[in-house]
Amino acid sequence: MTGELFDDRDRETFQEAVETWGVEAQAEMAEEEAAEFIVASKHWSRGKADPMEVVDEVADLRIMTEQLTEYLGRDLVEDHVEKKMNRLRERLREVEE
Protein backbone atom coordinates (compact mmCIF):
# COMPACT_ATOMS: atom_id res chain seq x y z
CA MET A 1 0.00 0.00 0.00
CA THR A 2 1.37 3.40 -0.94
CA GLY A 3 0.17 6.97 -0.57
CA GLU A 4 -2.36 8.11 1.98
CA LEU A 5 -3.75 5.46 4.25
CA PHE A 6 -7.25 6.92 4.39
CA ASP A 7 -9.06 8.31 1.36
CA ASP A 8 -12.03 10.66 1.00
CA ARG A 9 -14.51 7.77 1.33
CA ASP A 10 -12.88 6.79 4.62
CA ARG A 11 -13.03 10.38 5.87
CA GLU A 12 -16.75 10.50 5.06
CA THR A 13 -17.19 7.27 7.03
CA PHE A 14 -15.33 8.77 10.00
CA GLN A 15 -17.57 11.83 9.91
CA GLU A 16 -20.67 9.65 9.63
CA ALA A 17 -19.60 7.58 12.64
CA VAL A 18 -19.20 10.70 14.78
CA GLU A 19 -22.54 12.07 13.55
CA THR A 20 -24.26 8.73 14.22
CA TRP A 21 -22.89 7.90 17.67
CA GLY A 22 -21.68 11.31 18.85
CA VAL A 23 -18.22 12.59 19.62
CA GLU A 24 -18.41 11.61 23.30
CA ALA A 25 -19.11 7.97 22.46
CA GLN A 26 -16.38 7.91 19.84
CA ALA A 27 -13.90 9.52 22.23
CA GLU A 28 -14.72 6.82 24.78
CA MET A 29 -14.24 4.18 22.10
CA ALA A 30 -10.85 5.72 21.25
CA GLU A 31 -9.92 5.47 24.94
CA GLU A 32 -10.92 1.79 24.97
CA GLU A 33 -8.89 1.10 21.84
CA ALA A 34 -5.89 2.91 23.36
CA ALA A 35 -6.17 0.75 26.45
CA GLU A 36 -6.41 -2.42 24.34
CA PHE A 37 -3.32 -1.32 22.42
CA ILE A 38 -1.42 -0.80 25.66
CA VAL A 39 -2.34 -4.27 26.92
CA ALA A 40 -1.41 -5.94 23.61
CA SER A 41 1.87 -4.02 23.46
CA LYS A 42 2.78 -4.98 27.02
CA HIS A 43 1.97 -8.63 26.34
CA TRP A 44 4.00 -8.58 23.14
CA SER A 45 7.02 -7.00 24.83
CA ARG A 46 6.89 -9.80 27.41
CA GLY A 47 6.64 -12.48 24.71
CA LYS A 48 3.06 -13.32 25.67
CA ALA A 49 1.33 -12.11 22.51
CA ASP A 50 1.67 -12.47 18.79
CA PRO A 51 2.77 -9.29 16.96
CA MET A 52 -0.44 -9.51 14.91
CA GLU A 53 -2.40 -8.74 18.07
CA VAL A 54 -0.50 -5.45 18.28
CA VAL A 55 -1.06 -4.81 14.58
CA ASP A 56 -4.80 -5.33 15.06
CA GLU A 57 -4.90 -2.88 17.96
CA VAL A 58 -2.82 -0.30 16.06
CA ALA A 59 -5.36 -0.51 13.23
CA ASP A 60 -8.30 -0.01 15.61
CA LEU A 61 -6.56 2.90 17.32
CA ARG A 62 -5.69 4.61 14.03
CA ILE A 63 -9.30 4.38 12.89
CA MET A 64 -10.54 5.93 16.12
CA THR A 65 -7.93 8.70 16.11
CA GLU A 66 -8.85 9.51 12.52
CA GLN A 67 -12.48 9.90 13.56
CA LEU A 68 -11.43 12.39 16.22
CA THR A 69 -9.10 14.11 13.74
CA GLU A 70 -12.03 14.70 11.39
CA TYR A 71 -14.12 16.07 14.25
CA LEU A 72 -11.44 18.31 15.75
CA GLY A 73 -10.13 19.54 12.42
CA ARG A 74 -7.59 17.83 10.21
CA ASP A 75 -5.51 20.99 9.67
CA LEU A 76 -5.24 21.65 13.40
CA VAL A 77 -4.22 18.07 14.21
CA GLU A 78 -1.77 17.88 11.30
CA ASP A 79 -0.14 21.14 12.41
CA HIS A 80 0.44 19.64 15.83
CA VAL A 81 1.75 16.42 14.32
CA GLU A 82 4.21 18.41 12.23
CA LYS A 83 5.46 20.30 15.30
CA LYS A 84 5.91 17.09 17.24
CA MET A 85 7.70 15.41 14.33
CA ASN A 86 10.09 18.36 14.14
CA ARG A 87 10.70 18.03 17.87
CA LEU A 88 11.40 14.31 17.46
CA ARG A 89 13.88 15.01 14.64
CA GLU A 90 15.64 17.58 16.83
CA ARG A 91 15.90 15.12 19.71
CA LEU A 92 17.34 12.49 17.37
CA ARG A 93 19.93 14.98 16.10
CA GLU A 94 20.90 15.74 19.71
CA VAL A 95 21.45 12.03 20.40
CA GLU A 96 23.63 11.71 17.32
CA GLU A 97 25.93 14.53 18.48
The full set of domain ranges for the chain reads: 8-96
- pLDDT of 4 above 90: no
CB-based contacts of 69-72 (< 8 A; 24+ apart in sequence): 69/14, 70/11, 70/14, 70/15, 70/18, 71/15, 71/18, 71/23, 71/26
pLDDT at 97 (0 to 100): 83
- pLDDT of 3 above 80: no
pLDDT at 8 (0 to 100): 93
Q: What is the mean pLDDT of residues 86-93?
A: 97
Q: What is the mean pLDDT of residues 12-17?
A: 95
- pLDDT of 2 above 90: no
Query: Among candidates 77, 79, 75, 63, which has minimal Cα distance to 16?
Result: 63
Q: Specify the pTM.
A: 0.86
